[in-house]
Amino acid sequence: MAGPIRRIGVLTGGGDCPGLNAVIRAVVKTAINEYDWEVLGIEDGFEGLIQPGRVRQLTRADVRDILPRGGTILGTTNRANPFHYEVEVDGEVKVFDVSDDVVRHAQVLGMDALVVIGGDGSLHIAHELMQKGLKVVGVPKTIDSDLQGTVITFGFDTAVNTAMDALDKLSTTAESHHRVIILEVMGRDAGWIALKAGIAGGADAILIPEIPYDLDVVADKIARRNRGGAKFSIVVAAEGARPVDGKAVYQAEREIGGARRLGGIGEVLARQLRERCRVEVRVTVLGHLQRGGSPTAFDRLLASRFGTMAVHLIAQGKLGHMVALQDECIIAVPIAEAVAQQKFVPLNSDILLTAFGLDVCLGNSREVIEKMQAGE
């Protein structure tokens, strides 16, 4: 690295999740305590490097008391990709490449390196900016836990606990009323939250994007429970779950700079199960409750370890790398590797075996799932 480091930047990009503030706090404290560097906080993800006046110095005082707080003190957005920056001009959406401006802005600010705390979208951008000369280190975050290279991301544990808590509560009311209750959880392409919260919360059926579901199989599970005397059932559906012969359900068209919004699978399933099983069905959509609130102890610790290590990586010149958890240790993996593909629930996961052992319906028959697993 050319010259000594004096000042680094930090930003949070993409959807928020519990633990972001714990990372920011660890970055600021480690940079000041261990290296005597200045830290600049960039507001609202890459938007803060696109627009002027959105950068402020972060001191120890700025990060006091933020460890237990959800959200991010810096703000975030999932709509500011500098390589594809969408702006509405006279009612028309125009796309600009402002990536050179971002690199220049960082230089003008005297930023020797930038810590990007983000999911695959933000880390992708970070990787591309690195090719343009911006020195970056990544910190993986996402409640979906679908990033390669790290066993887990912070935010996921809190989200799973929130969903499990909802399942505990829904189970008692479902049992009282002899109903089927469907809990729709987040999980665009990967079903980690649905699967882990579903097992932890005692769900009877869990539908994940990785296993297209067959409604007959789900209906049969509910009927078997009714015949067996358990006259209620709990179904967890990831928002990205889809039937074998159908598509995922979207609740809204794409907004400027954003992605098309998933949602509504719970209601679709409810209609179909009402008809098929002649049962009362209710739906709860957990939505952004999963992204808010105070991080669990696990997430606070992981986020703090990630933040501290990100600063050490800069000092070691390990730019273009992302901190990651592997075998109980925080290590560095190339950002390029981490964003090359998403991490889906593997069909040979022992968690699926657990589900089979517990007689949890995974949306399709065991034979079909085993054939999928064998690649047939």
Catalytic residue among 16, 44, 144, 157: 144
Shortest spacing between CB 237 and ligand F6P, in angstroms: 13
User: Is 144 tagged catalytic?
Assistant: yes
Considering the complex, state which of residue 20 and residue 332 has its C-beta at the smaller distance from ligand F6P: 20
Cα end-to-end span (Å), the chain: 50
Considering the complex, state which of residue 50 and residue 147 has its C-beta at the smaller distance from ligand F6P: 147
Considering the complex, state which of residue 221 and residue 242 has its C-beta at the smaller distance from ligand F6P: 242
Shortest spacing between CB 258 and ligand F6P, in angstroms: 6
Considering the complex, state which of residue 77 and residue 99 has its C-beta at the smaller distance from ligand F6P: 77
Q: How big is the chain by its Cα radius of gyration, in Å? A: 22
Considering the complex, state which of residue 79 and residue 169 has its C-beta at the smaller distance from ligand F6P: 79
Shortest spacing between CB 2 and ligand F6P, in angstroms: 36
**What is the distance between the alpha carbons of residues 330 and 217, in angstroms, rounded to a whole number?**
42
Using CB under 6 A, list all residues that contact ligand F6P: 15, 78, 119, 142-144, 186-188, 239, 261-262
Q: Of 167, 148, 155, 142, which Cα lies nearest the Cα of 298?
A: 155
7-12 β-sheet, strand order? 55-58, 38-42, 7-12, 113-118, 136-140, 321-326, 329-334
Shortest spacing between CB 125 and ligand F6P, in angstroms: 15
Shortest spacing between CB 74 and ligand F6P, in angstroms: 16
Considering the complex, state which of residue 119 and residue 212 has its C-beta at the smaller distance from ligand F6P: 119
Shortest spacing between CB 192 and ligand F6P, in angstroms: 10
Residue numbers annotated as active site: 144
